[in-house]
């Protein structure tokens, strides 16, 4: 069994919602946990690391629980194979907001989980015209995703990360080509992933990146919102391409 922990926020919820099902469909057992605080930034993760506060809701295999944990408790709770984290979406294109929190968190993860791979989870940009852009210095998805790619690449270098999970690039590619595939929306509210195709794409990209598995024949279909066969095929191909060229 592969044990995966995301030190996350609502974007962590999005990428982990279908991960258990996607992996099981490929014959792989996973334990997929997201530590949830809405809008949580790297700076807040860092403060939680120092305080030991039980600030996180514990989400497992795509479902919330009533359990609340500290970062230390979560890291010590299992023999994790992979631990990854991310910046909150409004700050994802602001390189200064990552420092020095990313390196401190990476060091803490490695101290608590010496056998785990530490990875960087690349978050994504927003739909054109989304209100969320007002919280950033950007106005267009194209310029925002370029900054996101630069910032997460720099974070990976500073932290000597084992891997960048390219969910941001996958989401942008699907959003860019959505009309070609008959997908009305990739984002459900302008910035979170859609409950159907968006979340499916994210889980596929995480799984393909972490395992090196070809996901183009994945047949998982237990979605929270309708996904057409054409859209599902587009998600699989897009995730495969994103993971292949990371």
Structure tokens at 51: 């305080």
**% of residues, the chain, pLDDT over 70:** 100
DSSP summary character for residue 187: B
Q: Are the beta carbons of 106 and 114 closer than 8 angstroms?
A: no
- Nearest-angstrom CA–CA distance, 34 and 48: 15
Nearest residue to 116 via CA among 60, 167, 77 = 77
Alpha-carbon distances of 243 from 25, 38, 136, rounded to whole Å: 18, 27, 27
| Per-residue model confidence as pLDDT tens digits over 131-173 | 999 999 999 999 999 999 999 999 999 999 999 999 999 999 9
Q: Are the beta carbons of 150 and 95 closer than 8 angstroms?
A: yes
CA R_g for the chain: 17
- Nearest-angstrom CA–CA distance, 135 and 123: 15
Q: Whole domain around residue 234: which residue ranges?
A: 2-244
Q: Establish how many alpha carbons lie within 13 A of residue 194's alpha carbon, considering only the half-sphere containing its beta carbon.
A: 23
Helices (H), the chain: 10-16, 19-25, 42-51, 71-76, 101-112, 141-159, 167-176, 197-211, 229-244
Task: Indicate whether 51 pLDDT > 80.
Answer: yes
Quick one: the chain helix, strand, coil %, rounded to 5?
Answer: 45, 15, 40
The gap from C-alpha 150 to its chain's centroid, in whole angstroms, comes to: 16
pLDDT at 246: 74
Q: What is the CATH number of the domain that holds 217?
A: 3.40.50.1110
Nearest residue to 244 via CA among 211, 201, 202 = 211
| Per-residue model confidence as pLDDT tens digits over 216-233 | 999 999 999 999 999 999
| Per-residue model confidence as pLDDT tens digits over 70-107 | 999 999 999 999 999 999 999 999 999 999 999 999 99
Beta bridge partners of 212: none
Mean pLDDT, residues 34-50 taken together: 98
pLDDT at 245: 78
pLDDT at 110: 98
Summary mean pLDDT of the chain: 97
Q: Are the beta carbons of 139 and 128 closer than 8 angstroms?
A: no
How many domains does the chain fold into?
1
């Amino acid at each position: 069994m592969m044990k995966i922990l995301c030190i996350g926020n609502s974007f962590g919820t999005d990428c982990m919602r279908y991960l258990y099902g996607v992996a099981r469909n490929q014959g792989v057992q996973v334990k997929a946990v997201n530590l949830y605080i809405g809008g949580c930034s790297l700076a807040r993760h860092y403060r939680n690391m120092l305080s030991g506060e039980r600030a996180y809701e514990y989400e497992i295999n795509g479902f919330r629980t009533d359990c609340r944990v500290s970062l230390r408790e979560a890291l010590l709770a299992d023999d994790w194979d992979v631990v990854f984290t991310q910046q909150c979406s409004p700050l994802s294109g602001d390189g200064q907001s990552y420092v020095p929190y990313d390196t401190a968190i990476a060091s803490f993860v490695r101290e608590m989980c010496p056998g785990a791979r530490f990875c960087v989870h690349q978050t994504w940009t927003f739909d054109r015209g989304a209100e969320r852009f007002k919280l950033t210095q950007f106005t267009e998805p194209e310029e925002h995703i370029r900054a996101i790619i630069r910032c997460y690449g720099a974070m990976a270098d500073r932290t000597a990360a084992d891997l960048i999970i390219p969910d941001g690039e996958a989401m942008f590619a699907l959003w860019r080509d959505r009309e070609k595939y008959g997908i009305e929306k990739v984002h459900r509210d302008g910035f979170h992933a859609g409950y159907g195709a968006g979340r499916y794409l994210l889980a596929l990209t995480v799984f393909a990146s972490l395992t090196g598995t070809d996901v183009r024949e994945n047949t998982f279909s237990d979605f929270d919102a309708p996904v057409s066969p054409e859209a599902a095929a587009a998600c699989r191909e897009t995730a495969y391409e994103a993971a292949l060229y990371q």
